[in-house]
Amino acid sequence: MDMLATIQGSLLENFYPKGWDLEKIQSCCGHAPEEIFERQPFWHDGFAPVLCESLPHFNMMMGHEIALQIAIARSKGQELAVILPVGPTGIYEWAVYFLNEWRVDCDHIHCFNMDEWSDASGNTLPRGEPGSFEDAMLELFYEPLGSHTVPAAQRNFATKENLPQYEEKIAALKAKGAKLITVFGIGRAFHIAFWEPHFGADYETDEAWSKATHRIGAQLHPLTVEQNAIYSFKSNFTAVPCRANTIGPGLFLKSDYIIGGCDGVFDRGASLQGVSLWVTLRHGPTRWIASSYMPTMPGRLFFEKRLAGPMDADIH
């Protein structure tokens, strides 16, 4: 007895995006933990998942990867365009630690925050308001870098005025030889940034979907609201905005390298993102699951060990 056997006529029958194949999603999760590294035909040759023993290891290893790519670009005299998330927040402490230890100046990087809470018109939270992504990035990354930090003029935030300019700004940097890196966490609804699964209904083909660069005041899926209630608002779902400004696949699919993360293991072994990890690695590209495209690009996906399962019923 499971969801597939009982969903007909239930309140969940029309809850999930219509493009989700629930049987295929279920099949993605029916593997032994050690099978997580089995390479799939749609993976890029330069893509690899990376196991992290615990959350502290995850934060350190992903933070190190961010710092390493910044340092490599610096050593080559290469400019770097980096699309950044606010979370997983723990990665920034380590990225800052390594960059400061190595004394890497960051005036060669141009940062683009991938999303921001908004209202229906795309108005974002002003600085100083609880939940502001701009405030979070200043506190987590830019200010702790001290004298090595990214110049203020090279920090981009997803306001309704600036977000539509990302495509042109990134294209201009790449035309000068800059490398584009996207750093991301995978959402409960398999989103990248706030590019939600139900957006797939707005495009006739995956190709058309893949060219969309951004959305202003995008409607968030209920699973995303619940995820953020758990992660960021101490379970208070009434505090979570229902909309956000976000980049789209027309930007993150142009990445030269990706640095991804999947955590979400809680006390007593409860897991929020085991399905997110397995579906990302096993499903294959579809516009209904944004994260399914990430293995098609070179880079590394860091994940907390317990997310690999086994994904059996575990009653506490």
How many Cβ atoms sit within 10 Å of the Cβ of residue 95?
Answer: 27
Q: Residue 194: its pLDDT value, please?
A: 98
- Alpha-carbon span 151 to 227, nearest angstrom: 32
Dump pLDDT digits (tens) for 255-309: 999 999 999 887 666 778 899 999 999 999 999 999 999 999 999 999 999 999 8
pLDDT < 50 stretches in the chain: 315-316
Q: Residue 272: its pLDDT value, please?
A: 82
Q: Residue 262: its pLDDT value, please?
A: 95
Instruction: List C-alpha distances in Å: 12 to 6, 201, 276, 283.
Output: 10, 18, 19, 22
| Phi (first) and psi of residue 235, to 5 degrees | 85, 0
Dump pLDDT digits (tens) for 192-210: 999 999 999 999 999 999 9
Q: Residue 312: its pLDDT value, please?
A: 66
Q: CATH says 44-307 is which class?
A: alpha beta
Q: Residue 268: its pLDDT value, please?
A: 65
